[in-house]
Amino acid sequence: MTSPSPKPLSFKVALGGAIWLGLTWLAYALFLVNTPLTLQSVQAGPITMAGGAVMACTAMALLLMGAALIKLALLKRRDASLVMAVIWSMGALSLAFSIYMLTRPLLASAI
């Protein structure tokens, strides 16, 4: 019986970035559900601070995922780890984009 080949470090970094991105946006959505929506909280309150933190985490996760995916694509051996990393990254990006698009009208309607 053959043992499976070890996953490259760049695969683990890409997977970690995707998980980080998805969990960040899920936490933001959970925060918005539990925070009262007022005009002050949206414009200069906790929602603004959380939004800034989420955008910073998103930028860092995208940098990690992008660098790791490029590194995986440039490896000489092409195996399923590149495909799995791309699938996880696209799933995390679609989750983040969906939550972003669903929360924009909610925040715009704050009184």
Q: pLDDT tens across 2-50, in order?
A: 667 778 889 999 999 999 999 999 999 999 999 888 888 888 889 999 9
pLDDT recorded at residue 15: 95
Q: How far is the CA of 27 from the CAs of 6, 42, 55, in angstroms?
A: 32, 17, 13
pLDDT digits (tens, 9 = 90+) for 88-108: 999 999 999 999 999 999 888
- 40-63 in b/e form (b: 16+ CB < 10 A) is ebbeeeebeebbeebeebbeebbe
Mean pLDDT of 78-89: 87
Q: Read out DSSP for the chain? A: -PPPPPPPHHHHHHHHHHHHHHHHHHHHHHHHHHS---HHHHHHSHHHHHHHHHHHHHHHHHHHHHHHHHHHHHSSS--HHHHHHHHHHHHHHHHHHHHHHHHHHHHHT--
What the block records as the tokens of 109 is 């309607």
Mean pLDDT of 56-76: 92
Answer yes or no: are the C-beta atoms of 39 and 110 closer than 8 Å. Answer: yes
